[in-house]
């Protein structure tokens, strides 16, 4: 199969209407914090059991097109003795892999960060692909203050995201391009919009320079939203309008799918905002989700590391995935949060 054919097949599945991507790629440090906060021991077996619980939830494949894995999970087997990538494929879900190596300080800036991991990336991607990965993810972050993000941080992160994306496509792997404008801070939604537009503009300029084929990428941006500590909370409609305004100004129509990160929003907020945007259609791209905590939070708190809670936790996860699937087609309503909805719908 040619590289283009591989990319076409993967993006076709990842951009299916009403399906999203589960981000289950938390580093060991991050998932340990989340586990310990609710009293779960972060052992390798508990991490494996939890991620198996997520991906084997009933009807998950109806709402989830792909799962981003952490390297540990890529190399683990399920309780049935099947490697995770193969287990996902057996369920009709594509396996992906987080490939960046985390954040480091960007020299000559004040507390700004850049993502590392380009060294040896082609070789790592070849190894991940041999293990079954079809797509990859790389995250850049931008903190908002009166002085940040700086032009240096915006341009440096854009260049690195584009280099990563080009390397992925050369290997036949679809890149998820994730420029995350952080929700932390007191900034207003207007300040977030001021920042988000040049960030995305720089990313697409860099992708163009590196000859990345936009038809074979997933854009995973943050929504345009007021900071967590802002006293003026933007409404659902304001978030939807500002986010779409920025996307229409910066994202070419060639991009097939935009799968938002939740970035610290509550599960209900992330779903409501996605739904409000899809109710504005028609739009030039598929708008869906690639959530971590906003899909997993209630499931993890129901499970609590105990096998007796597994079925209830899976039901909770499947409902959350269904609600986001409905939001990805503009058919969600807040009343559904309290309803017992049929997971077969």
Q: For the domain that residue 91 is a member of, what is the CATH number?
A: 3.20.20.70
pLDDT at 137: 98
Segments in the chain forming alpha helices (H): 3-14, 28-37, 44-55, 60-63, 71-74, 84-90, 121-130, 151-170, 189-209, 236-250, 267-278, 293-303, 310-327
The SS3 call for residue 14 is helix
Q: Please indicate, yes or no, if residue 344 is contained in any of the structural domains.
A: no
pLDDT of residue 30: 92
Residue-number span of the structural domain to which 302 is assigned: 3-337
CA 100-102-107 angle, 5° bins: 115
The verdict on whether 127 is a catalytic residue reads no
Give the active site residue among 98, 137, 220, 319: 220
3-state secondary structure of 95: strand
What is the number of domains present in the chain?
Answer: 1
Computed over its alpha carbons, how large is the radius of gyration of the chain?
A: 19
In this predicted model, what pLDDT tens digit does every residue of 217-254 receive, in sequence order? 999 999 999 999 999 999 999 999 999 999 999 999 99
How far apart (Å, rounded) are the C-alpha atoms in residues 325 and 319? Answer: 10
Does 38 map to a domain?
Answer: yes
Residue 343 within any structural domain of the chain: no
Residue 342, pLDDT above cutoff 80? no
Establish if 345 belongs to a structural domain. Answer: no
- Catalytic site includes residue 220: yes
Evaluate if residue 343 carries a pLDDT over 60: no
Band (1; pLDDT cuts 50, 70, 90): confident
What's the whole-number mean pLDDT along residues 160-179? 98
Q: Per the domain annotation, does 159 fall within a domain?
A: yes
Q: Which of 26, 52, 71, 178 is catalytic?
A: 178
Query: Of the given ranges (96-100, 113-117, 169-173, 281-285), which has the lowest mean pLDDT?
Result: 281-285
pLDDT at 158: 98
* 341: confidence class by pLDDT, cuts 50, 70, 90: low
For residue 335, give Cα distances in angstroms to 30, 268, 323: 32, 11, 11
Residue 66 inside a domain? The answer is yes
The 10 Å CB-count burial string (b at 16+, else e) for 102-113 is eeeebeebeebb
Confidence at residue 274, expressed as pLDDT on a 0 to 100 scale: 98
Does residue 35 lie within any of the structural domains?
yes
Question: Residues 112-131: what's their mean pLDDT?
Answer: 98
């Amino acid at each position: 199969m040619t590289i283009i054919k591989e990319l076409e097949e993967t993006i076709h599945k990842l951009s299916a209407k009403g399906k999203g991507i589960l981000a289950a790629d938390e580093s060991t440090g991050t998932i340990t914090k989340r586990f310990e906060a609710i009293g779960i021991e972060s052992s390798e077996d508990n991490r494996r059991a939890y991620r198996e619980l997520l991906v084997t939830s009933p009807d998950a494949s109806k709402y989830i097109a792909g799962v981003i894995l952490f390297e540990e999970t890529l190399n683990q087997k399920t309780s049935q003795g099947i490697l995770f990538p193969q287990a996902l494929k057996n369920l009709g879900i594509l396996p992906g892999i987080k490939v960046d190596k985390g954040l480091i300080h960007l020299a000559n800036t004040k507390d700004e960060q850049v993502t590392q991991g380009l060294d040896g990336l082609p070789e790592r991607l070849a190894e991940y692909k041999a293990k079954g990965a079809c797509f990859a993810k790389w995250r850049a972050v931008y903190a908002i203050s009166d002085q940040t993000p700086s032009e240096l941080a915006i341009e440096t992160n854009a260049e690195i995201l584009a280099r990563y994306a080009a390397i992925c496509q050369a290997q036949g792997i679809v890149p998820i391009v994730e420029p995350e404008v952080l929700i932390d801070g007191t900034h207003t939604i207007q300040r977030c919009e001021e920042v988000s537009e040049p960030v995305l503009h720089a990313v697409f300029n860099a992708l163009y320079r590196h000859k990345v084929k936009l038809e074979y990428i997933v854009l995973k941006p943050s929504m345009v939203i007021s900071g967590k500590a802002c006293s003026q909370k933007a409404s659902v409609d304001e978030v939807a309008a500002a986010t779409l305004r920025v996307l229409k100004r910066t994202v070419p129509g060639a991009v097939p799918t935009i799968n938002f990160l939740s970035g610290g929003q509550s599960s209900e907020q992330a779903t409501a905002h996605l739904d409000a945007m899809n109710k504005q259609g028609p739009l030039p791209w598929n708008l869906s989700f690639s959530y971590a905590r906003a899909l997993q939070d209630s499931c993890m708190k129901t499970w609590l590391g105990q096998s007796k809670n597994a079925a209830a936790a899976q039901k909770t996860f499947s409902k959350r995935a269904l609600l986001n699937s409905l939001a990805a087609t503009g058919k969600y309503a807040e009343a559904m949060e309290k309803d017992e909805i049929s997971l077969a719908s």
